Amino acid sequence: MKRRDFLYLTGISAGASMAASVPVFGRMISVEEALTPVDVTLKKRLADVALNAAKTNGASYADVRIGRYLNQVIATREKRVDNIANTESYGMGIRVLANGAWGFAATNNLDQDSIAKAAKMAAAIAKGNAKIMGDPVRLAPQKGYGEISWKTPIQTNAFEVPIADKVDLLLHVNSEALKGGAKYINSNLFMVNEQKYFASTEGSYIDQDIHRIWPTFTLTKIDASAGKFESRNALSAPMGMGFEYMQPLDSEKIKGGPVTLYKKRYDMLEDVREAAVHVDEKLKAKPIAPGKYDLVLDPSHLFLTIHESVGHPTELDRVLGYEANYAGTSFLTLDKWESRKFNFGSKEVQIVADKLEPGSLGAVGYDDEGVKCGQWDIIKDGILVNYQTIRDQAHILGLKASQGCCYADSWDSIQFQRMPNVSLQPGNVPLSAADMVKKVEKGIYMFGRNSYSIDQQRYNFQFSAQLAYEIKDGKIVGMFKDAAYQANTQEFWNSCVQRCDQSDYRLGGTFSDGKGQPSQSSAVSHGSPTTRFNGVNVINTGRKLG
């Protein structure tokens, strides 16, 4: 057995590690350094210095985040490695509430004087902001948890797998692509480990160890005589998991449809082999005739529609206007929620926010203001029933506690409201995707994320897919090209008529959801089963250049 096959099957292999090339996040460190965590006693001592200095400088409340953010990126192209980066960013952010306003300062010099100075600066900024603020900040009550910890339940720490083995795997993926006739293949592996320590003047000292992984590729073929090219991206999902995600398991595959689908284990080699065949089909696909179609949307595609049309408009800071100058506001205004009658979607639409779901990108024990995480309904039986809140917003909804949606992408970024995992629940009636397709007369079966765009209040959107199969009289008869669907959010979710059952439920997600000024990135998952939407407007996006 070749070493890369051994790695592929077990995920663990011995071998010399190598690291090279350009860092993309923070400071470049050796692989060995990444595996040595910072001592928790030291973190508590540093946090107390900051909390005490904040109180001395007039803070009515303060919290401290000591963050160590490790990132590893391996990027390859055809037969060569483009980039290997192993980086660390480490420092402390201090948030202070004084005179009813927030102030924030951060430092990467973790000596006593620098920490005290940063805490004093945060308090001074808070007092300065107090003079030009609106209403004073009202924090939902939050008990201190004492000294506790939480860890993503991983089986294999991806940072412990030798880089040489990961390179071998990606180059094997590339060689399979080239064998399948690909002209170009880019494959990448992204790994993240957030080691976060949170402490507050309310008596919480929370140590968390969070892991994420994302394998992906883009395979391209060229039809030079026709002057055409087509690509297909991986149908993997970024996950809140360790390297075990990279080890295929038959029980985590769904076979039998036009595409092999993956739950919590991914088979990158199998996916790239299928992609090579799919791109041939894409090059020969027939242009779609615009009109109304019934859409059968696979979770690898639907997650992004959920993210844009349900996740974002239910962010309370957008609803209130805090994102008006950048990400936008929301059509889901407070009066719609207060009425308890706003018909967001059909009765099939059951959307749950969940900060705990195993394997998801958003799963943490506690958020970045020390609130224990949980789950709650956002859309119940099609009706808008809740939003996403943090501690200084909870009172607006009459909630007694925050929903734990606070996040900062780095120790030197200010934490603010970010999206939890927002997922469409599976149906209660047993139904497979294959059986769903059988009932569709004129439809499109879509897989994978592609182009996506939605307005600043989240009414009008347009999405396209990696693969769009034509369904005719209950059968898949071929592939369409240039298909994109356009809809209004409320109309779209009211056209939701059928969901597959739990056995088809899968997570999709994004590693880099942007929001805020200066912009911050966050990672979030969206689960769903394969779901059917009737009579959606589909356009043809094909054009000709002169």
Partner 1 sequence: MAILSKEEAQAILKKVLSYAKADACEVSLNGSDGGNIRYARNAVSTAGQIDVMSLGVSATFGKKTGTATINEFDDASLQKVVKRAEELAMLAPENPEYMPPLGPQTFAESLTYNANTAAMTPETRADMVAKSLGVSKAGGLEAAGFLENSTRFSSIMNSKGLFAYNKSTNVSFSVTMRNKQGTGSGYVDQDFNNLSKMDTLALTKIAASKANGSAGAKAIEPGKYTVILEPLAASDMLGNMFRGFDARSADEGRSFMSKKGGGTRLGEQLFSENVNIYSDPLNPEIPGSTWSGDGLPITKTQWVQNGVVKNLSYSRYWAAQKNVQPLPFSRSIVMEGGNQSLEDLIKSTEKGILVTRFWYIRMVDPQTLLLTGLTRDGTFFIENGEIKFPIKNFRFNESPVIMLNNVEALGKPVRTGSGLIPPMKIRDFTFSSLSDAI
Contacts of partner 1 in 18-47 (CB under 8 A): 18-23, 27-28, 30
CB neighbourhood size of 146 (10 A): 9
Min dist. Cβ of residue 27 to partner 1 (A): 6
Q: Binding residue for partner 1 (CB under 8 A) from 12, 133, 385, 497?
A: 133
Q: Does 229 bind partner 1 (CB under 8 A)?
A: yes
Q: Nearer Cβ to partner 1, position 221 or 380?
A: 221
Tell me the two tokens of residue 416: 């603010």
Within residues 164-223, the interface with partner 1 by CB under 8 A covers 167, 183-184, 220, 222
Q: Does 228 bind partner 1 (CB under 8 A)?
A: yes
Q: Where are the beta strands (DSSP E) in 31-140?
A: 61-77, 80-98, 101-107
Q: Nearer Cβ to partner 1, position 208 or 402?
A: 402
Q: Nearer Cβ to partner 1, position 38 or 414?
A: 414
Q: Where are the beta strands (DSSP E) in 125-183?
A: 146-151
Q: Binding residue for partner 1 (CB under 8 A) from 13, 60, 108, 157?
A: 108
Q: Nearer Cβ to partner 1, position 163 or 353?
A: 163
Min dist. Cβ of residue 352 to partner 1 (A): 26
How many residues in total does the chain contain? 546
Min dist. Cβ of residue 324 to partner 1 (A): 4
CB neighbourhood size of 196 (10 A): 21
Alpha-carbon span 118 to 128, nearest angstrom: 15
Q: Binding residue for partner 1 (CB under 8 A) from 113, 324, 358, 438?
A: 324
Q: Does 414 bind partner 1 (CB under 8 A)?
A: yes
Give the range of 129-137, 145-153, 241-249, 524-532 binding partner 1 by CB under 8 A. 129-137
Min dist. Cβ of residue 300 to partner 1 (A): 18
Of the candidates 499, 497, 491, the one whose C-alpha atom is nearest the C-alpha of residue 537 is: 491
Contacts of 420 (CB under 8 A, 6+ apart): 353, 354, 355, 362, 373, 388, 403, 404, 405, 524
Using N-to-C axis directions, what is the helix angle for 40-56 and 112-130, rounded to 10°?
40
Using N-to-C axis directions, what is the helix angle for 163-179 and 3-10, rounded to 10°?
100
Min dist. Cβ of residue 129 to partner 1 (A): 5
Bond from prior residue into 248 cis (ω within 30 degrees of 0): no
Q: Does 150 bind partner 1 (CB under 8 A)?
A: no
Q: Binding residue for partner 1 (CB under 8 A) from 462, 497, 511, 534?
A: 462
Q: Binding residue for partner 1 (CB under 8 A) from 1, 227, 250, 398?
A: 227
Within residues 337-396, the interface with partner 1 by CB under 8 A covers none
Min dist. Cβ of residue 502 to partner 1 (A): 33
Q: Nearer Cβ to partner 1, position 27 or 472?
A: 27
Within residues 63-92, the interface with partner 1 by CB under 8 A covers 80-81, 84
Q: Binding residue for partner 1 (CB under 8 A) from 458, 506, 515, 532?
A: 458
Min dist. Cβ of residue 108 to partner 1 (A): 7
Alpha-carbon span 37 to 52, nearest angstrom: 25
Task: Count the residues of the shown chain that bind partner 1, applying the rule CB under 8 A.
Answer: 75
Of the candidates 337, 365, 72, 27, the one whose C-alpha atom is nearest the C-alpha of residue 196 is: 365
Q: Are the C-beta atoms of residues 201 and 55 closer than 8 Å to each other?
A: yes
Alpha-carbon span 336 to 339, nearest angstrom: 5
Q: Nearer Cβ to partner 1, position 164 or 241?
A: 164
Alpha-carbon span 506 to 525, nearest angstrom: 10
Q: Does 114 bind partner 1 (CB under 8 A)?
A: no
Tell me the two tokens of residue 138: 């009202």
Min dist. Cβ of residue 337 to partner 1 (A): 16
Q: Of all helices (H) and strands (E), which one includes residue 215?
A: strand 204-223
Q: Does 60 bind partner 1 (CB under 8 A)?
A: no
Q: Does 313 bind partner 1 (CB under 8 A)?
A: no
Q: Are the C-beta atoms of residues 180 and 67 closer than 8 Å to each other?
A: no
The residues facing 268 across adjacent strands are: none
Of the candidates 399, 371, 374, the one whose C-alpha atom is nearest the C-alpha of residue 386 is: 399
Of the candidates 266, 262, 209, 263, the one whose C-alpha atom is nearest the C-alpha of residue 243 is: 266
Q: Binding residue for partner 1 (CB under 8 A) from 233, 457, 521, 534?
A: 457
Min dist. Cβ of residue 42 to partner 1 (A): 19
